[in-house]
Amino acid sequence: MRKAVFLFQKIQEISVVKTLISIIGTTGIGKTRLAIDIARHLGTEIISCDSRQFFKEMKIGTAAPTSEELNEVQHHFIGNLSAEEYYSIGQFEIDALKKLGELFQKNENVVMVGGSMMYEKAVIEGLNDLPEANTENQEKLEEIWHKDGLDGLKLILKDLDKDYFETVDQENPRRLLRAIDVIWQTGQKYSDLISEPKAQRNFQTIRIGIEAPREIIYERINSRVDKMIEDGLVEEVKSLIKLKENVALQTVGYTEIFKYLLGEWDLNYAVSEIKKNSRRFAKRQLTWYRKEENIHWVSFQNSKEEALSLLNNFGI
């Protein structure tokens, strides 16, 4: 009898396992639409793990969901911060897990979406116990950055940890600074440190990736950038020029327009650089995802139907 009760309890525990459905893929591939379609189908809500869409002043340059899209499904972590604020990946992990706990109280499933690879990793796997920033290292690296620019930091990181260099957002100086600082402190590769196993989550994750031929990805990126310009990206960036040194603004789409506004580049060249740097970021995303073994890929041409069929196979 005791054994029967124990087995029944275990079955109950298994039956209440919650599921996080994480929608991933390169920039511009259609993640937002698929996430909304799945969330509506399941009657649930969406957590964004796009590290640039957190900031309310950066709607156009981050291709944040439109007001119409936001009205279709309840979203979290979209426009919830100001670009004046510093927000770490560690804080996001804490906040996202807290929100997930709340959502799982009323939903069996929750959808997460975003192309910020480390932010997704923070939620589904957890961050490693890395050392705090070393002031002396940070000052030295800041000096190198201002003297030699991003290229100086890139050369250092590439020499220290080529694996991480190939996947990191190379246009984000803070990511470069952090990785180099940790390597200097620990004497270990950053890529090795962040790949160490973490404590298991109390929910299961199903990762759905949207795939497309590279030429399609690049076409979509180019079209998206053109639309951003049409929608007023230059005016958006102009309104943020006083914050151009802030971490949130050290990103593709903003750094290039800042150079145009400061007279360093003409607009056509700035736009071409946004497209080029966006394609480079997509390439790094592909490199990252290729190394992952638990992604279920669906075609960009039929992503909703394939994703729902996949979830049905999982009993969702």
Q: Is 53 exposed, middle or buried (0-12, 13-18, 19+ CB in 10 A)?
A: buried
Residue recorded with tokens 């600074």: 177
pLDDT digits (tens, 9 = 90+) for 162-189: 999 988 888 888 889 999 999 999 899 9
pLDDT average, residue stretch 121-149: 87
Residues 211 and 179 in one domain: no
Last residue of a domain, one of 171, 193, 215: 193
Residues 259 and 160 in one domain: no
Residues 9 and 99 in one domain: yes
Q: Is the pLDDT of residue 254 over 50?
A: yes
- Whether residue 62 is annotated as binding a ligand: the answer is no
List Cα–Cα distances, 184 to 129, 154, 157, 158, 164, in angstroms.
16, 15, 10, 14, 15
Between CA 280 and CA 163 the distance in angstroms is 16
Residues 232 and 303 in one domain: yes
- Whether residue 29 is annotated as binding a ligand: the answer is yes
Between CA 53 and CA 78 the distance in angstroms is 5
Residues 122 and 213 in one domain: yes
With cut-offs at 50, 70 and 90, classify the pLDDT of residue 10: very low
The reported pLDDT for the residue numbered 310 is 97
The reported pLDDT for the residue numbered 280 is 94
The reported pLDDT for the residue numbered 197 is 66
Written as one letter, the residue type at 262 is L
Last residue of a domain, one of 145, 162, 193: 193
- Whether residue 27 is annotated as binding a ligand: the answer is yes
The reported pLDDT for the residue numbered 195 is 79
- Whether residue 44 is annotated as binding a ligand: the answer is no
Q: Is the pLDDT of residue 3 over 80?
A: no
- Whether residue 30 is annotated as binding a ligand: the answer is yes
Q: What is the CATH number of the domain that holds 213?
A: 3.40.50.300
Please tell me the total count of domains within the chain: 2
Residues 109 and 144 in one domain: no
The reported pLDDT for the residue numbered 252 is 95
Q: What DSSP state is assigned to residue 81?
A: B
Q: Is the pLDDT of residue 26 over 90?
A: yes
The reported pLDDT for the residue numbered 184 is 94
Contact 240/57 with Cβ under 8 angstroms? Answer: yes
Q: Is the pLDDT of residue 226 over 60?
A: yes
Q: Is the pLDDT of residue 232 over 80?
A: yes
With cut-offs at 50, 70 and 90, classify the pLDDT of residue 135: confident
φ/ψ region of 253 (left if φ > 0, alpha if ψ in -120 to 50, else beta) reads left
Residues 103 and 123 in one domain: yes
With cut-offs at 50, 70 and 90, classify the pLDDT of residue 12: very low
Both tokens of 128, joined, read 């490693």
Between CA 166 and CA 170 the distance in angstroms is 8
The residue that leads in pLDDT, 126 or 20, is 20
Tell how far CA 160 is from the center of its chain: 24
Q: Is the pLDDT of residue 13 over 60?
A: no
Q: What is the CATH number of the domain that holds 185?
A: 1.10.20
The reported pLDDT for the residue numbered 225 is 98
The reported pLDDT for the residue numbered 172 is 81
Rounded to the nearest integer, the mean pLDDT of the chain is 91
Between CA 262 and CA 264 the distance in angstroms is 6
Give the least confident one: 144-158, 202-216, 219-233, 258-272: 144-158
Between CA 40 and CA 111 the distance in angstroms is 10
pLDDT digits (tens, 9 = 90+) for 38-88: 999 999 999 999 999 999 999 999 999 999 999 999 999 999 999 999 888
Q: Is the pLDDT of residue 15 over 80?
A: no
The reported pLDDT for the residue numbered 5 is 36
Residues 161 and 256 in one domain: no
Domain membership of residue 186 as a residue range: 135-193
Q: Look at residues 28, 75, 18 and name the one whose alpha carbon lies nearest to residue 47.
A: 75
Both tokens of 60, joined, read 């156009």
Residues 57 and 204 in one domain: yes
- Whether residue 255 is annotated as binding a ligand: the answer is no
Between CA 214 and CA 283 the distance in angstroms is 9
Residues 51 and 80 in one domain: yes
**DSSP-H helix ranges across the chain:** 2-15, 31-42, 67-72, 89-104, 117-124, 135-160, 162-167, 173-186, 190-193, 214-231, 233-238, 255-261, 267-290, 303-313
The residue that leads in pLDDT, 149 or 216, is 216
pLDDT digits (tens, 9 = 90+) for 182-191: 999 989 999 8
Residues 213 and 175 in one domain: no
- Whether residue 66 is annotated as binding a ligand: the answer is no
In this prediction, what percent of the chain has a pLDDT beyond 70? 94
pLDDT average, residue stretch 101-107: 97
- Whether residue 32 is annotated as binding a ligand: the answer is yes
Residues 231 and 104 in one domain: yes
The residue that leads in pLDDT, 7 or 250, is 250
Between CA 111 and CA 172 the distance in angstroms is 27
